[in-house]
Amino acid sequence: MHKRRRGLLLIVVLMLMGLLFFIGMKMRPATQTTRNSETTPVQADVSENFEKLIQDIVHFAQQGKVPDVPFAAGEADQQTVHQQWGEPQQVVESANGQYEDYQDVTIGYHGSQAFDIRSFKEGVQKIHLADIKKSMGEPDDVRYYQDTTTNQVILVYQVNDSYQLKWILPKPTDNEANPAVHHISVYTELTHQATDVVEQMTLDEKIGQMMFAGVSGTTLQQETTSLIQDYKVGGFILYANNLETSQQTVTLINDIMAANTNNQLPLFIGTDQEGGKVVRLPRPLKNFPTNKKIGDINQSKFSYEVGQLLGEQLKTFGFNLDFAPVLDVNSNPNNPIIGDRSFSNNPDIVSKLGLQTMKGLESQQVIPVVKHFPGHGDTSVDSHLELPKVTKSLNDLNQLELLPFKDAIDNGADVVMVAHILLPKIDQQYPSSMSKEIITGMLRKQLGFDGVVMTDDMTMKAITNHFDIGQAAVDSVKAGSDIILIAHEFSNVTSAIDAVKAAVNKGEIAEDRINDSVRRIMQLKQKYQLDNQPVTTVDVNKLNADIEQVLNTYMK
Q: Tens place of pLDDT for every residue, the chain, 556 residues? A: 444 455 555 555 555 555 544 444 444 333 333 323 333 333 344 455 788 899 999 999 998 999 999 998 988 878 789 889 999 999 987 656 789 999 999 999 876 778 999 999 999 999 999 999 999 999 999 888 877 788 999 999 999 888 999 999 999 999 999 999 999 999 986 555 667 788 889 999 999 999 999 999 999 999 999 999 999 999 999 999 999 999 999 999 999 999 999 998 999 999 999 999 999 999 999 999 999 999 999 999 999 999 999 999 999 999 999 999 999 999 888 787 888 999 999 999 999 999 999 999 998 989 999 999 999 877 767 777 778 888 999 999 999 999 999 999 988 899 999 999 999 999 999 999 999 999 999 999 999 998 999 999 999 988 999 999 999 999 999 999 999 999 999 999 999 999 999 999 999 999 999 999 999 999 899 888 888 889 888 999 999 999 999 999 998 7
Domains, the chain, in order of start with CATH, read 46-189 (no CATH), 202-543 (3.20.20.300)
Distance CA 367, CA 290 (A): 21
Residue 167 pairs with which residues in a beta bridge? 155, 184
pLDDT tens by residue, 123-153: 999 999 999 999 999 999 988 887 778 899 9
Calculated CA dihedral for residues 254, 260, 262, 264, nearest 10 degrees: -120
Distance CA 415, CA 490 (A): 24
pLDDT tens by residue, 4-50: 455 555 555 555 555 544 444 444 333 333 323 333 333 344 455 78
What value, to the nearest 5°, has the Cα angle with vertex 49 and ends 46 and 54?
Answer: 125
**DSSP, res 381:** S
Total count of residues recorded for the chain: 556
Does residue 192 carry a catalytic annotation? no
- Which pLDDT score, from 0 to 100, does residue 11 have? 54
Distance CA 285, CA 541 (A): 8
Does residue 456 carry a catalytic annotation? yes
The candidate with the shortest Cα–Cα distance to 442, out of 460, 465, 419, is 419
- Which pLDDT score, from 0 to 100, does residue 17 have? 57
- Which pLDDT score, from 0 to 100, does residue 18 have? 55
**Cβ–Cβ < 8 Å for 407, 355:** yes
* Other residues' Cβ atoms within 10 Å of the Cβ of residue 142: 14
Distance CA 326, CA 178 (A): 34
The candidate with the shortest Cα–Cα distance to 397, out of 344, 335, 442, 339, is 442
- Which pLDDT score, from 0 to 100, does residue 42 have? 31
| Position 465, amino acid | N
Distance CA 490, CA 22 (A): 95
130: Cβ contacts below 8 Å, ≥ 6 apart: 178
The catalytic residue among 116, 131, 272, 456 is: 456
- Which pLDDT score, from 0 to 100, does residue 188 have? 87
CA distances from 350 to 90, 110, 321, 357, 403 (A): 47, 40, 21, 10, 9
DSSP code per residue over 237-261: EE-GGG--SHHHHHHHHHHHHHHTT
**Cβ–Cβ < 8 Å for 436, 478:** yes
The catalytic residue among 77, 104, 382, 384 is: 384
Q: In what order do the strands lie in the sheet with 90-94?
A: 90-94, 97-101, 105-110, 113-119, 183-188, 163-170, 151-158, 141-146
Residue 235 pairs with which residues in a beta bridge? 212, 268
The radius of gyration of the chain from alpha carbons, rounded to an integer in Å, stands at 30
